[in-house]
Amino acid sequence: MAKLTSRAENYSQWYNELVSKADLAENSDVRGCMIIKPYGYSIWEKMQSALDKMFKDTGHSNAYFPLFIPKSYLSKEAAHVEGFAKECAVVTHYRLKAAEDGSGLIVDPDAKLEEELIIRPTSETIIWNSYKNWIQSYRDLPILLNQWANVVRWEMRTRLFLRTAEFLWQEGHTAHSTKDEAVKEAEQMLEIYSTFAEEFMAVPVLKGLKTASERFAGALETYCIEALMQDGKALQAGTSHFLGQNFAKAFDVKFATKEGTQEYVWATSWGVSTRLMGALIMAHSDDLGLVIPPKLAPIHVVIVPIYKGEEQLAQIAEYAMQLKNELQQKGLTVKFDDRDTHKPGFKFAEYEMKGVPVRVAIGPKDLANGTVEVARRDTLEKSTISGGEAVEHIYGLMDMIQKNIYAKALKHRDESSHYVDDYDEFKRIIANEGGFIYAHWDGSAETEELIKQETKATIRCILLDQKKEDGKCIRTGNPSKGRVVFAKAY
């Protein structure tokens, strides 16, 4: 198996090669759209399963709304339409016909839609149009819905998982009778995303608020989690939005209070996407391939036989299948790779590329000695373990590997975090090292944009636990009450 370009040599090329060689995804013939291959989709399914349980454990239910949104819906919320107008794909006709010159199919001009349809970039508008029919009284609230879906945002510059014209995600949309309840909902979902990122993805994240210029279109507040990749760039890994009453007012969604008055409903929306796959890859993987935390690994353990001849294979297979069955009884996913079309060395490289947490090799000497060779993907350490202890040892490794991957990512983030008060130093770190920079900002959108133009760094978030600290803005010298987090970002 061909080696990857190293991260140090070309990080972007390393990423693209890894997505391909690990069999995660590939570009389709539709510009900007990807094909998620079975191995990549199985990781996404693990993510879905964990998040779905967390949503349902907090009282949410799944529903599904149409892919197509009448253009007039998108026009009802001014900030929302402005935020998404440039990314919308529009359906104008509903039929094709054969060209008269026989050159192929053309759009039938007689099949023009009375109202053009938007392929959903996000679903607030069509959902709130439905909520208008569902909500009459305080007894109908809260509504706590989520949908797993695809969306289309017509990106000009795309990269697999990180930014594609079509991508998969979940989007939660909730309706509440009070502002406090909606704010608590938005904060609760941020906590869920943070817990998922750290406990399942093994990615440490910062929790904070977006600045006004970085908020979701139509939101009063956007909460976010920000992760740091190995190349020193940040990646927004999830967002939760307090929408206030903006969408309720746009779609005239009111409810009768207990006192008999009419009030507009309060709203939230929140989502994560297949961009999490990009975060998983870039946070942990190395020059040999993927490194996948066991909680999200499609295969926990692969067993590779080393043999000569059918007789040896049969003996090793019997030994291996017993180990496989016992590990599966522990809840682990185990693959026994007895393909005779590839040599053990190729298989070792293949499973390193795919990030399988533990590899077990069994050869004739292991049969004779009652042992197995166990290799960890995260540290590449190998050890010889007694067959009688192998199951408990391998099972115990899963928790150790999960924690070690997180600890390594946290160490990288800590070492790549800088407190800076001098703008020249700020520019030097952003240009050469990257990472998170904690610096003072005067709170103005003009200064924020100026720093972005001069350094390509953006304010990733205002930390929820931001310490009040008098200082001077890194760019203007104007007064500041606390540091915000800057970084270059994907």
124 in a domain, yes or no? yes
Q: Tell me what the mean pLDDT of segment 92-107 comes to.
A: 95
Task: Please determine, for residue 80, whether its predicted confidence score (pLDDT) is greater than 90.
Answer: no
Q: Determine contact, residues 293/198, Cβ cutoff 8 Å.
A: no
Task: Please determine, for residue 1, whether its predicted confidence score (pLDDT) is greater than 90.
Answer: no
- CA-nearest of 490, 464, 460, 487 to 210 is 460
What is the per-residue pLDDT for 141?
Answer: 98
Both 129 and 270 in a single domain?
yes
148 in a domain, yes or no? yes
Say what percent of the chain tops pLDDT 90: 96
The token pair that represents 333 in the structure block: 């996913």
* pLDDT single digits (tens) 378-392: 999 999 999 999 999
Both 392 and 423 in a single domain?
no
Both 249 and 221 in a single domain?
yes
What is the per-residue pLDDT for 77?
Answer: 86
Both 125 and 157 in a single domain?
yes
293 in a domain, yes or no? no
Provide the CATH number for the domain around residue 441: 3.30.110.30
Q: Confidence class of residue 79 from pLDDT cuts 50, 70 and 90? A: confident
Of the CA atoms within 13 Å of residue 204, those in its CB half-sphere come to 17
404 in a domain, yes or no? no
333 in a domain, yes or no? yes
For tokens 């935020």, what's the residue? Answer: 83
Total domains in the fold of the chain? 3
Q: Tell me what the mean pLDDT of segment 55-72 comes to.
A: 98
- CA-nearest of 131, 120, 84 to 248 is 131
Last residue of a domain, one of 369, 399, 429: 399
Q: Which residues have a Cβ under 8 Å from the Cβ of 44 and sit 6 or more positions away?
A: 36, 168, 274, 277
Q: Domain of residue 462: give its range.
A: 417-487
Both 155 and 123 in a single domain?
yes
What is the per-residue pLDDT for 232?
Answer: 98
Say what percent of the chain tops pLDDT 70: 100
Both 305 and 278 in a single domain?
no
2 in a domain, yes or no? no
Provide the CATH number for the domain around residue 355: 3.40.50.800
| Chain mean position to CA 64 | 21
What is the per-residue pLDDT for 2?
Answer: 81
Both 149 and 215 in a single domain?
yes
Calpha distance 473→448 (Å, rounded): 10
Task: Please determine, for residue 46, whether its predicted confidence score (pLDDT) is greater than 80.
Answer: yes
Question: 272: which strand partners?
Answer: 170
280 in a domain, yes or no? yes
The mean pLDDT of the chain is 97
* pLDDT single digits (tens) 225-283: 999 999 999 999 999 999 999 999 999 999 999 999 999 999 999 999 999 999 999 99
Q: Determine contact, residues 378/404, Cβ cutoff 8 Å.
A: yes
Q: Tell me what the mean pLDDT of segment 396-408 comes to.
A: 98
* pLDDT single digits (tens) 125-135: 999 999 999 99
Last residue of a domain, one of 284, 318, 343: 284
183 in a domain, yes or no? yes
Both 280 and 304 in a single domain?
no
Task: Please determine, for residue 71, whether its predicted confidence score (pLDDT) is greater than 80.
Answer: yes
Last residue of a domain, one of 365, 399, 433: 399
Q: Confidence class of residue 483 from pLDDT cuts 50, 70 and 90? A: very high
* pLDDT single digits (tens) 302-361: 999 999 999 999 999 999 999 999 999 999 999 999 999 999 999 999 999 999 999 999
Both 155 and 226 in a single domain?
yes
Per-residue HEC secondary structure of the chain comes to CCCCCCCCCCHHHHHHHHHHHCCCEEECCCCCCEEECHHHHHHHHHHHHHHHHHHHHCCCEECCCCCEEEHHHHCCCHHHHHHHHHHCEEEEECCEEECCCCCCEEECHHHEEEEEEEECCCCHHHHHHHHHHHCCEHHHCCEEEEEEEEEECCCCCCECCCECCEEEEEEEEEEECCHHHHHHHHHHHHHHHHHHHHHCCCCCCEEEECCHHHCCCCCCEEEEEEEECCCCCEEEEEEEEEEECHHHHHCCCEEECCCCCEEECEEEEEEEECHHHHHHHHHHCECCECCCCHHHCCCCEEEEECCCHHHHHHHHHHHHHHHHHHHHHCCCCEEECCCCCCCHHHHHHHHHHCCCCEEEEECHHHHHHCEEEEEECCCCCEEEEEHHHHHHHHHHHHHHHHHHHHHHHHHHHHHCEEECCCHHHHHHHHHHCCCEEEEECCCCHHHHHHHHHHHCCEEEEEECCCCCCCEECCCCCCEECCEEEEECEC
Q: Confidence class of residue 157 from pLDDT cuts 50, 70 and 90? A: confident
Provide the CATH number for the domain around residue 105: 3.30.930.10
Both 236 and 111 in a single domain?
yes
Both 424 and 393 in a single domain?
no
Of the CA atoms within 13 Å of residue 486, those in its CB half-sphere come to 31
305 φ, ψ (degrees, to nearest 5)? -80, 140
Question: 436: which strand partners?
Answer: 417
Q: Which residues have a Cβ under 8 Å from the Cβ of 261 and sit 6 or more positions away?
A: none
Q: Confidence class of residue 83 from pLDDT cuts 50, 70 and 90? A: confident
Q: Tell me what the mean pLDDT of segment 215-232 comes to.
A: 97
Both 206 and 353 in a single domain?
no
Task: Please determine, for residue 203, whether its predicted confidence score (pLDDT) is greater than 90.
Answer: yes
